[in-house]
Chains A and B, each alone.
Chain A
Amino acid sequence: SAVISQKPSRDICQRGTSLTIQCQVDSQVTMMFWYRQQPGQSLTLIATANQGSEATYESGFVIDKFPISRPNLTFSTLTVSNMSPEDSSIYLCSSRGPSGSETQYFGPGTRLLVL
C-alpha cells in the first residue's frame, strides 16, 4: 500500500492569503488527486494532478483558485488562493497506482480554517 503524507496538517489563515499544501507519496504512482471534504460531508474531487502537464479540474473548480503542481511521480502541491471563509475545509491528497493498480489511498488531510 502507498503511504501518503501531507504538510501542513492544519493551518489557520487570514482571508485574502494563499496556502500551499504539499503531498508526498512513498512510491511512484500513476495518478494523484486532490479532494475537499467539508465538515460532516463526503469527498469532492477538485482535480487530478497530472505529471508533466496541467491538472484536470472538475466542474466548479478552476486553476486560478486551486493551482496544482506535480513535478514528479511522488509529489504534488495544491494551492488555495485568495482564501475566503468558504474555503475552510479538509483538503485530502490521494494516489492510485502504479499503472494497472486499482487501489486508491488517501493522505491524512490538511485542516484549513480561514478567518
Chain B
Amino acid sequence: GENVEQHPSTLSVQEGDSAVIKCSYSDSASNYFPWYKQELGKGPQLIIDIRSNVGEKKDQRIAVTLNKTAKHFSLHITETQPEDSAVYFCAARGEGANSKLTFGKGITLSVRP
C-alpha cells in the first residue's frame, strides 16, 4: 500500500519568511496530492491540491510542487503570517473511484511574530 512520509515534524519560521514542507510517497500509481491545514480544535481544511499531470500549482501565498520521478511533493508558503501557524498534513491517493487518501504524520508550523 501507499506510504506517505512528511518531514520535518516541526518547523518554526519568522513572520514574513517562507516555509517549505516536504512529503514523499511510495506508490508510483498515486496521482492526486492534497494538502490540509488543521488549526487547534478544528477539522482539516483543504488548502491546495495537485494532480500528477501538473508540476506546480499556485494560489496566492501558497504553492505546491510535484516531482513524480523522485516521488516528492512540497508545500510552499510565502510571506508567512502568525495565522499560518497550524498542523499541515500532506496526502496521496491513487486512481479509481474507491481509492483512499493516505496521510502523512503532519507537521506543526509555528510562525514567530
Contact = CB atoms under 8 A, between A and B. Distances in A.
A86 interface: no
Interface residues of A, number: 21
Contacts of B34: 103-104
B9 to A, nearest CB: 10
Nearest to B6: A42
B89 interface: yes
Contact of B105 (A42, A45, A99, A106): A42
A43 B49 CA distance: 18
A42 B43 contact: no
Interface stretch (B14-22, B56-64, B72-80, B96-104): B96-104
A24 interface: no
Contact of B49 (A41, A99, A102, A108): A102
Contacts of B36: 106
A41 B106 CA distance: 8
A103 B51 CA distance: 11
B101 A108 contact: no
Contacts of B101: 45, 104
Given A42-B103, A48-B100, A105 B89 contact: no
Contacts of A102: 32, 49, 51, 93
B46 interface: yes
A109 B103 CA distance: 17
Contacts of B103: 42-43
A92 interface: yes
Interface string A16-31: 0000000000000011
Interface string B26-47: 0000001010100001111110
Contact of B46 (A45, A99, A104): A104
Interface of B: 32, 34, 36, 41-46, 49, 51, 89, 93, 97-98, 100-101, 103-106
